[in-house]
Amino acid sequence: MWTGFYVGLNAGYTWGANNNLNFASPLAYLSPAASSIGESAAYAASAAGTVGSLSVGNSGFIGGGQVGYSLQFQEKFVVGLEADIQGIASGSSRATTASAAPWGDFFLSGQTTSVQAVSRSVDYLGTVRGRVGYLVIPTLLAYATGGLAYGGVELNAAMIQSDAPAAFNVTSSWGASSAYSNTRAGWTVGGGLEWMFWPNWSAKVEYLYYDLGSARVNLGAAGRFYNENDPNSGSPYALYAPFASARFNGQLVRAGVNYHFNWASSAPVLAKY
């Protein structure tokens, strides 16, 4: 009954297991107008204005198809191999935050304002998995599954900071941004139930956990605009660019239907006349 090739469709929902996007260091500028004490204070203000972790999940409805092969042996055991791929609707998430922190030394003081914007997404997800199952009854299969997972992921991060020294009227600004897009490979594990409700037709419910690993983007400096009233304008300003990282892992629950060809089943015996 269970031996043979099959194809099918599935639909369900997926959600991220780790929704944090982390900034490893602030985007800091050090004015040559400040003393060494002031430089440290400016960097500390930049760090204080940087949110270290933003929540950007990736969840949405999924839908796709699968193809596989099963082998039934010793009446109650079924092993097989299955491959699937599905798209994810609304699989992206964005977050923006703004904050401000004062800084100063004996000669100069001001305020550093920081704005951070991030987004990430999983656009599609596929797996190639082994399955090992036990027939609770001849038409109901309980199985465990695991193997390769892969998916198309995107990660974007941008940061803008501005500094308003108390002695001047015009604000200086600087910023950085970066984007990452790639197909990542990882692993998946889970389990499910499959019911043969009609000859050659089965329905299944399945849970999977997947992990595509972590991605990192380095935010290169995008521009600096100097205060026209700053007597040190035009002097070299030091920029420390941050990097951001996120982990692409999650869970999914889906239902599906399969059509079994049963090509490997015994052919019917035809009567001879």
Q: What is the pLDDT of residues 156-165, one digit of tens each?
A: 988 887 776 6
pLDDT tens by residue, 217-238 = 888 765 444 444 555 554 545 5
Res 209 pLDDT > 70? yes
In a domain, 270, yes or no: no
d(CA 22, CA 55): 9
Reduce the DSSP state of residue 28 to 3 states and report it.
Answer: strand
Instruction: State the pTM of this model.
Output: 0.82
In a domain, 137, yes or no: yes
What number is the average pLDDT over the span 18-44?
64
In a domain, 59, yes or no: yes
- Whole-number pLDDT of residue 28: 61
Report residue 80 as tokens.
């097989």
Report residue 159 as tokens.
């940061």
Shortest CA distance to 155 belongs to which of 187, 131, 181, 127? 181
Whether 53 and 5 have beta carbons less than 8 Å apart is answered as no
In a domain, 269, yes or no: no
- Of 48 and 253, which is predicted with more confidence? 253
Place 80 in a pLDDT band, splitting at 50, 70 and 90. Answer: very high
d(CA 134, CA 141): 6
In a domain, 31, yes or no: yes
In a domain, 267, yes or no: no
In a domain, 156, yes or no: yes
Q: What is the DSSP letter of 170?
A: S
Report residue 182 as tokens.
């790639």
d(CA 170, CA 236): 18
d(CA 4, CA 83): 15
Shortest CA distance to 27 belongs to which of 119, 94, 99? 99
- Whole-number pLDDT of residue 167: 56
Whether 148 and 185 have beta carbons less than 8 Å apart is answered as yes
How many domains does one find in the chain?
A: 1
In a domain, 245, yes or no: yes
Counting residues of the chain whose pLDDT is more than 90, the rounded percentage is 47
For residue 194, the enclosing domain spans 4-260
